[in-house]
Amino acid sequence: MKVKWIILCLLIYGTAFYSSLHVYSRQSVTESAEDAGKLLPVKIKYVRDVHTTKDIQGWIKEARENGETISIAGMQHSQGGHTLYPNGTLLNMTGYSKILKFNPLDKKITVQSGVTWADIQEKINPYGLSVKVMQSQNIFTVGGSLSVNVHGRDIRYGSLIDSVDSFRLLTPDGTIINVSHKENSDLFPYVIGGYGLFGVILDVTLELAEDELYQHRSGEMDYSDYENYFKEKVKQDDSVKMHLARISVAPETFLREMYVTDYVLADQQDKKEKHSELKEEQIIALPKFMLGVSRYSDWGKDLLWETQKEYFLKNNGKYETRNNVMRSDSGFMEYENPNRTEVLQEYFVPVDQFAEYITDIRAILEREDLNLLNITIRYVGHDEDAVLSYATDDMFALVLLINQGRAKQDIEQTERVLQKLIDVTLDHDGSYYLPYYSYPSDKQLKRAYPRIEEFFDKKREFDPEERFKNLFYERYGK
């Protein structure tokens, strides 16, 4: 009898030990993760590679049962922790990438959210169709682009929310709902531009445009002439469909000299067949080298600016399809350094305040230490469909590329300078873009986005257990 009790105790102890070991090992599984900014490395408990809807539903159920959090990632080019949350489950959506339905006659396509814009271009280009709105590069996922409500070079279609027909959302309780302007319409302006805080965007139906042929019209000018040029030569000319500008960050011409490229509708019959093939990746060794030199010297910045300007002006008169304009190569910007990184900031300023704004930010940047590598300028028309709209007027968007250190003192130094720039931007009735590192203060966030509390309240109402979280929400939503 005594032996039986000993055996039973051993069995109970062994079972308990195995269970506790299993739980411990399950809890201690961690993996390092970071976004493209490389300033917010975190330990993630699980990274789940998504392939099916059933996968996601299972992991949401598991997270609910265990009281865990979920964050959602595509290409992770948002740089403010929007795809990360410590000790939670990260859904890697890049494998959830099927094109589900394509109707060329209706000019619509339905895709899973892990599909890239490049995937869509490959599918629709043979049919003479193009995307309406996307970033200047095509490497990003559709779901990620919706989550930040992107805009691009197109000046006629607005931000991405305007070209979304509908989408399916996997909610925090694991159910799937359809969202459109007619169905669950109250969620539409929250989820698009919602930074993954309302659930998982499963698949999206997008409206498409004609893949038109454009001719480049390039020129250079002083910054003080740009506002009138845009109003008279670009905005009022219906034949101009897309637009891009850059302003110099080179010491010799700092924030004074500009060059512009307008994409003007060309003769579709004569030229389109010769240019419709999608361009492949170009040689990037030289621009990559020159950008590298500009990171560490003023003469390198001067050289890069003159070379870039000469290249774009030389392309004056060049023909290019809409799909190829939206196929820019960003490979030359890839940057690996154990002690430094490159971050983006994007500021929006009303068109009629551009010259005064540039004068004011130049006064700050000429006396501050900020390694500014590039400023690209785009246009986005007034569009307040999204709750967190950044285009409360007709705006110029200035995209800043900044090289900085990763150490605490470097982050604090960049924060100090950028908060000054943001104050100037807000004083000019402007705003800033939310997908980047959380340098702005709480006060600046509320000035730029007066509906931010409404946004966070809706998130907590829709997701009361706060199942979906990220570092952006942790920083500002609490």
The model's pLDDT over 114-150, given as tens digits with 9 standing for 90+, comes to 999 999 999 999 999 999 999 888 999 999 999 999 9
11 pLDDT more than 80: no
pLDDT at 286: 72
pLDDT at residue 333 tops 50: yes
pLDDT in the model for residue 297? 92
Q: What is the DSSP letter of 156?
A: S
Which of 394, 389, 382, 397 minimizes the C-alpha distance to 451? 389
**Helix/strand/coil percentages in the chain, nearest 5:** 40, 25, 35
Asked whether the predicted pLDDT for residue 278 surpasses 60, the reply is: yes
Phi, psi of 434 (to 5 degrees): -85, -15
- Average the pLDDT over 257-270 and give the result: 92
Task: Confirm if 226 and 245 have CB atoms less than 8 A apart.
Answer: yes
DSSP 239: T
- Residue 184's Cβ-count burial label (10 Å; 0-12, 13-18, 19+) is middle
Geometric angle at alpha carbon 408, from 404 and 413, rounded to 5°: 55
Question: Could you tell me the pLDDT band of residue 164, with boundaries at 50, 70 and 90?
Answer: very high
- Cα–Cα nearest to 455, from 198, 260, 142: 198
Would you state the pLDDT for residue 287? 74
Tell me: the pLDDT tens digits for 19-38?
433 333 333 357 888 888 99
Q: Which two tokens stand for residue 167?
A: 């989408």
Q: Which two tokens stand for residue 175?
A: 């159910």
CA distances from 369 to 279, 295, 296, 366, 402 (A): 39, 13, 13, 8, 11
Interval 33-67: pLDDT, tens: 888 899 999 999 999 999 999 999 999 999 999 99
The answer on pLDDT for 389 being more than 60 is yes
Q: Return left, alpha or beta for 67; rule: phi > 0 is left, psi -120 to 50 is alpha, else beta.
A: left
What is the percentage of the chain residues whose pLDDT exceeds 90? 82
pLDDT one-digit tens code per residue, 283-295? 567 777 888 889 9
Q: Measure Cα distances from 290 to 43, 285, 332 in Å.
A: 35, 9, 10
What pLDDT was estimated at residue 28?
39
